[in-house]
Amino acid sequence: MKSLEELKAIRERMQGQVEFRAENSDQIRVVVGMATCGIASGARPVLTTLAEEVQKRDLKNVTVTQTGCIGLCQYEPIVEVLEGGKDKITYIKMTPEKAVEVLEQHLVRGQVVEKYTLNETRL
Amino acid sequence: MFPEISLHILDIAENSIKAGATRIEIEVLRRTAERKLTVAVQDNGCGMDAEQLAGCTDPFFTSRTTRRVGLGIPFLKASAECTGGSFFIDSQKGRGTQIRAEYVTDHIDCIPLGDIGATVYSLILMNEAIGFFYRYGVDERQFTLDTDEMRALLGDVPFASREVAAFIREYLEENQKETDQEEIL
């Protein structure tokens, strides 16, 4: 059995190098809808993929969080990208693969992946 | 309906989060001889009054006075009961809510447990301020994870940092494998 004691070693290694994330205007918030509708349509793998990719790439300016139902259940899983001074971008019908694409194009390079946005979809 | 029991657990725990819980306990216990799987979620959130409690298992209960009411609870109830299992909910306003569902695992309509590790992992990572206690047991074998213990060992190192998040994932995966007694190298 793996034991929590390993966390002591992680703490020692990380002592001093932990930077508290400054909540400034450069901070990008990525919000995944995790209500019943989101979960039923596959939001969990989208959320875990985004969280893991952000950790892996060490994107200090990106925070992945969750929210409830935003009332567009038929377009779940929904991922919103909120960035200071910019319009909110709503990505719909996400999958882990699409989420990685959004992360690489939008979160890293600043290019909105239009084809997955709510605006591009004829409602 | 959900394809996995672990998604029901995530959904029910999201209710606890919306109810303002600061402590959420999740239990998954498998009794192989009896072919039973019991899942339980208990929280110290805002709870429900008698009327809400009576209505919350009805999918057509449309009260908008609280956001705790929706399809999640009726879904879980139906998915457990359709296997010949049972569903139990109790809640007290201001005290919290507890939910327990028992599945008969060899019934043809019993959905698989699924990736319970991913459920617990995402709950912990997304809700660092909430204390989670998780117990996974198969017959007399079990393991637990208590985020309060983790916090005490980690000081102010965040759970969402790469090394800690990876540790949580491995801890859940490896200990579950060992509890399930699958062969590990």
In this prediction, residue A84 carries a pLDDT of 87
Mean pLDDT in residue range B10-31: 96
In this prediction, residue A21 carries a pLDDT of 54
| pLDDT tens-digit readout, B128-162 | 999 999 999 999 999 999 999 999 999 989 998 88
In this prediction, residue B71 carries a pLDDT of 84
In this prediction, residue B66 carries a pLDDT of 46
Cβ contact, residue pair B153, A2, below 8 Å: no
| pLDDT tens-digit readout, A63-92 | 999 998 888 999 999 999 999 889 999 999
Domain membership of residue B137 (yes or no) is yes
In this prediction, residue B185 carries a pLDDT of 47
pLDDT band at A123 (very low <50, low <70, confident <90, very high): low
Alpha-carbon distance A119 to nearest alpha carbon in chain B (angstroms):
28
| pLDDT tens-digit readout, B61-96 | 755 454 555 788 999 999 999 999 999 999 999 999
Domains and CATH numbers, chain A: 28-92+109-123 (3.40.30.10)
Q: Are strands B131-138 and B141-146 parallel, antiparallel or unpaired?
A: antiparallel
More confident: A18 or B168:
B168
CA angle B16, B18, B24 (to 5 degrees): 25
Mean pLDDT in residue range B44-55: 92
CA angle A65, B124, B11 (to 5 degrees): 75
Distance (Å) of CA B98 to CA A64, A97, A115: 28, 36, 43
More confident: B68 or B117:
B117
CA–CA gap between residue A37 and residue A34 (Å, rounded): 7
Q: Please check whether residue B40 is in contact with residue B88, taking contact to mean a CB–CB distance below 8 angstroms.
A: no
3-state secondary structure of A4: coil
Phi, psi of B57 (to 5 degrees): -90, 0
In this prediction, residue B37 carries a pLDDT of 98
Residues of chain A contacting B153 with CB distance shorter than 8 Å: 4-5, 7-8, 11
- Count of domains forming chain B: 1
Q: Scanning the structure block, which residue is given the tokens 């198969």?
A: B138
Range of the domain at B99: 5-180
CA–CA gap between residue B151 and residue A122 (Å, rounded): 47
Domain membership of residue B74 (yes or no) is yes
Strands in chain B per DSSP E: 23-31, 36-43, 86-92, 96-104, 131-138, 141-146
pLDDT at A20 over 70: no
CA–CA gap between residue A101 and residue A104 (Å, rounded): 5
pLDDT at A22 over 70: no
Cβ contact, residue pair A55, B11, below 8 Å: no
The token pair at B18 is: 């919306």
Q: Please check whether residue A106 is in contact with residue A54, taking contact to mean a CB–CB distance below 8 angstroms.
A: no
Residue of B nearest to A69 (CA): B67
The angle that helices B5-18 and B72-81 make with each other, rounded to 10 degrees, is 150
Domain membership of residue B185 (yes or no) is no
Q: How far is CA B77 from the centre of its chain?
A: 14
Residues of chain A contacting B164 with CB distance shorter than 8 Å: 7, 10
CA nearest B74: which of B91, B90, B64, B61? B61
CA nearest A46: which of A120, A109, A101? A101
Percentage with pLDDT > 70 across chain B: 94
| pLDDT tens-digit readout, A103-119 | 999 999 999 999 999 98
pLDDT band at B168 (very low <50, low <70, confident <90, very high): very high
Domain membership of residue B141 (yes or no) is yes
Q: Please check whether residue B111 is in contact with residue B6, taking contact to mean a CB–CB distance below 8 angstroms.
A: no
Q: Who among B119, B125, B156 is closest to A18 (CB)?
A: B156
Domain membership of residue B175 (yes or no) is yes
The token pair at B182 is: 């699958």
The overall average pLDDT reported for chain B is 92
Cis peptide before B3 (omega within 30 of 0): no
Enter the ipTM.
Answer: 0.87
| pLDDT tens-digit readout, A27-69 | 899 999 999 999 999 999 999 999 999 999 989 899 999 998 8
The CATH number given to whatever domain includes residue B79 is 3.30.565
CA–CA gap between residue B124 and residue A5 (Å, rounded): 18
